[in-house]
Structures are given as C-alpha cells and as structure tokens.
C-alpha cells in the first residue's frame, strides 16, 4: 500500500477517503483493468471474417499490454492475480472479469467453426481459454524479461490461429 500512496502522490488518509480498505482499492483496480480489456475487444465492428476479428483482438492486446510503455499495466495485472490467490473477493472479481472476454472469443471461434474456417474438433470455450492463457502468459514473460520481442510472440499466436484453421 505504501507503493500505491507514493505512486499516487497522496497520503494514506486521502486514499482511504475514497476506499474503505485495501480490498476495495484492489477491486477498483481490477475493475478498471477489466473495462480496459473489454474496450479493446469491443473497438471496431465485427467483420464477416471471425479469424480476422480474432487476429485484431490479439493485435490490440499485444499493442495494449506487451509494449515497453505498458509495463505498469502488466504489473497491475500480476498484482491482481497474486492477490486473487489469497483473497476470495478478488478471485471472484478476476473470474468475473475473464468471463466476458472468454465468452466473446468463444463466440467468434464458434462463428469460425460454423463457417468451416476453424476445426470443429476442438471445443470453442477451450480454444478461447487457451488464447487468453497465451496472452496472459506473454504478459508475465514480458515482466520477467522486458526485452522479449512482442512481434515474435504475436507471430507465434498467428501460427496458432493458422493451425486451428480447417484444411
């Protein structure tokens, strides 16, 4: 919490005039992150090509979370995930925050499956969760090793999407 006060340039009393507890502050931070992710997913209309839509979402995520300038966003995500391991309220918020993006990705995948663009042998929800895991893992790796080439990571994600395409 001392880091939060220092970063905000505010005293503990000032911060706690807005938030009654550390949990409330963490929930607010998590909610802001979830809203940011939903904005990224919702920017731009869905096209007739669900595979392109998936690529565009992945590109927005890469640009929004894997750049050198977005290191604070990655740190906030990691702190929220860590807190979720010991705090059921934060865990519920993280799970809720993942649900809409997962559902949106799964819906795009189902559209691609119906159009015979992605294999229907795999469960759309499992593919969506795997995409999220790849993107979140990329965030974590970028924290550990900031010089990691985000473009190379995106290229691997592109290959993953191509591998799902029906032949």
pLDDT band of 46, cuts 50, 70, 90 = low
pLDDT at 20 over 90: no
Cα separations in angstroms, 14 against 21, 44, 118, 155: 12, 38, 52, 45
* Residue 162 burial by Cβ neighbours in a 10 Å radius (0-12, 13-18, 19+): exposed
pLDDT of residue 37: 78
Prediction pTM value:
0.80
Question: Mean pLDDT in the chain?
Answer: 84
Mean pLDDT of 79-88: 90
Confidence of residue 67 (pLDDT cuts 50, 70, 90): confident
**Domains assigned to the chain:** 22-164 (1.10.357.10)
C-alpha–C-alpha distance, residues 38 and 101, integer Å: 7
pLDDT: is 56 or 5 the higher one?
Answer: 56
Quick: pLDDT tens for 105-140: 999 999 999 999 999 999 999 999 999 999 899 989
From CA 74, how far away is CA 141, in angstroms rounded? 10
- As a whole-number percent, the residues of the chain with pLDDT over 90 amount to 28
Q: How far is CA 39 from CA 45, 64, 139, in A?
A: 12, 11, 18
């Amino acid at each position: 919490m001392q880091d939060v006060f220092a970063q905000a340039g505010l005293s503990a009393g000032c911060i706690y005039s807005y938030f009654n507890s550390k949990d409330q502050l963490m929930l607010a931070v998590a909610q802001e992150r979830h809203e940011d992710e939903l904005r990224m997913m919702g920017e731009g209309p869905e096209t007739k090509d669900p595979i392109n839509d998936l690529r565009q979402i992945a590109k927005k995520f890469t640009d929004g979370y894997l750049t050198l300038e977005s290191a604070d966003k990655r740190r906030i995500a990691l702190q929220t995930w860590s807190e979720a391991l010991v705090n059921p309220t934060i865990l519920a918020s993280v799970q809720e925050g993942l649900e809409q993006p997962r559902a949106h990705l799964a819906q795009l995948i189902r559209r691609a499956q119906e159009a015979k663009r992605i294999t229907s042998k795999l469960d759309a929800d499992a593919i969506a969760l795997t995409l999220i895991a790849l993107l979140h893992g990329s965030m974590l790796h970028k924290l550990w090793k900031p010089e990691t080439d985000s473009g190379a990571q995106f290229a691997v994600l592109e290959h993953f999407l191509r591998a799902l395409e029906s032949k």
